[in-house]
Structure 1
């Protein structure tokens, strides 16, 4: 490739062009090798960048290519015809200019709707994940407290597995793994399943800690009054445990709001995904990041204040 022909070059690969652009602007890298039309768009929208065109390929890696399924000969032929026509007519350069005009048009400079859509999806994903995680967490806690050894062991193993692996890995396994099994879920549904499962492990620990915070003598007192173990748990222990764990559940919701940003890796249009989209539209790397950081801070700080007030009220009620 081009980079391999540069003496003493140190290559750095990143997953997004926006990240490369930010590193170039901040002086962390000296140059970016990318497709010529894309490079032209960035240069036309950034006065502090320049395009170096007089570079010879050191192999035959240049040109345009589109990946298709093996055996799609007819489609391949049609695509090659279209690519040849685009190249001969110089349409690519024309499209770059038109695209930049659209981006720079005053009517398209407001991206509030993208941030609002991202905010809605972030809150929806984290809120649903907490509710489902709460249900599954209670189920796991019940299983862990079971007197049947195998059930208790399975629950403990699930909790440790979910807590011991990265959320991103879990999202990717659910998204691609279920597709292999024939379940073609949307990116949002796959993320919801993965985040809910991940949250259930932490909720299970929260609920377990809440139950263990109640004096053991209360279980004995309930049993001495003629209540069954199940009745004592549901009518005496759990109401007190729930009061104790509410602040922790609030903190779990705050954590989920931040962690759902990982769902952007598979295309869920939450805040970070929309931020990346705005970066691509505006060719601005830093401003969208600063704005989305303020949105995240407003969400988490506001919820923290609410949870502190709830916690104070609960202590006062006691």
Structure 2
């Protein structure tokens, strides 16, 4: 084996790697936040009394959940221009990841809502609460306690999935690593480094979410 390892060759690029981490976190945070809103809307529409709305929401969820994310981001970036809608790499990545997160968040939210006893909902209506008030105070808040661990896992998954956005040259950690690789020709070193960086980010947020769950969403013990 004649390869000489040289991690010091990457030291001049530490600011680029840090910027890549921040861009990855920004992409994940923005997409998951927007995806939660989309998922909440889809979950509401799937229980709508209007059949076309239920069909649209169900079709969206099933289409996204049963196709690869790489295909989705390539379709948005390369396919939509044929329809006259051209997006830059970053907005295309945000849109693709938002739609992806929204579909999975919809299922997570529905599972939490379905776990709420129907008696609580009927009691809220009996107290004179409106439909939105019942959903907000009686359904959504208790459901968050149930679904927060799953939503946390969805954020970690989205954080790691952002690496696929490098396929359309969207600026994030993997894209930065590819650029550094072309400058240094230190493929082994750079990909080891970003593997460690992804691990630190995902493990750190996983620990943070567990702490939040323990403090705010765990059931009190006697």
TM (norm. structure 1) is: 0.64
Is 1:152 aligned to residue 57 of structure 2? no
* Higher helix proportion (structure 1 or 2): 2
**Correspondence for 1:294 among 196, 200, 209:** 196
TM (norm. structure 2) is: 0.90
Distance 1:114 1:181 in 2: 35
Distance 2:132 2:31 in 1: 27
Which aligned pairs between 1:91-170 and structure 2 lie closer than 5 A? Answer: 110-170=12-72
Matched residue, 2:185: 283
Matched residue, 1:200: 102
Matched residue, 1:261: 163
Given that 1:247 and 1:310 are in contact with CA atoms closer than 8 Å, whether structure 2 keeps it comes out as no
Matched residue, 2:83: 181
Distance 1:150 1:133 in 2: 22
Is 1:315 aligned to residue 214 of structure 2? no
Which aligned pairs between 1:17-96 and structure 2 lie closer than 5 A? Answer: none
Given that 1:128 and 1:192 are in contact with CA atoms closer than 8 Å, whether structure 2 keeps it comes out as yes
- How far is the alpha carbon of 1:225 from its aligned partner? 2.2
Structure 1 gap ranges (5+): 1-24, 26-46, 49-105
Residue range with higher mean Cα deviation, 241-250 or 160-169 = 241-250
Larger radius of gyration: 1
Given that 1:115 and 1:271 are in contact with CA atoms closer than 8 Å, whether structure 2 keeps it comes out as yes
Q: Pick closer, same or farther for the CA change 1:140–1:108 going to 2, 3 Å.
A: closer
Structure 2 gap ranges (5+): none
- How far is the alpha carbon of 1:151 from its aligned partner? 1.2
Residue range with higher mean Cα deviation, 150-159 or 197-206 = 150-159
Distance 2:127 2:137 in 1: 12
Distance 2:91 2:220 in 1: 40
RMSD (CA atoms):
2.1
Matched residue, 1:215: 117
Given that 1:219 and 1:229 are in contact with CA atoms closer than 8 Å, whether structure 2 keeps it comes out as no
For residue 161 of structure 2, give the secondary structure of its aligned residue in structure 1: helix
Given that 2:177 and 2:191 are in contact with CA atoms closer than 8 Å, whether structure 1 keeps it comes out as yes
Distance 2:129 2:11 in 1: 66
How many residues in Structure 1 have an aligned counterpart in Structure 2? 217
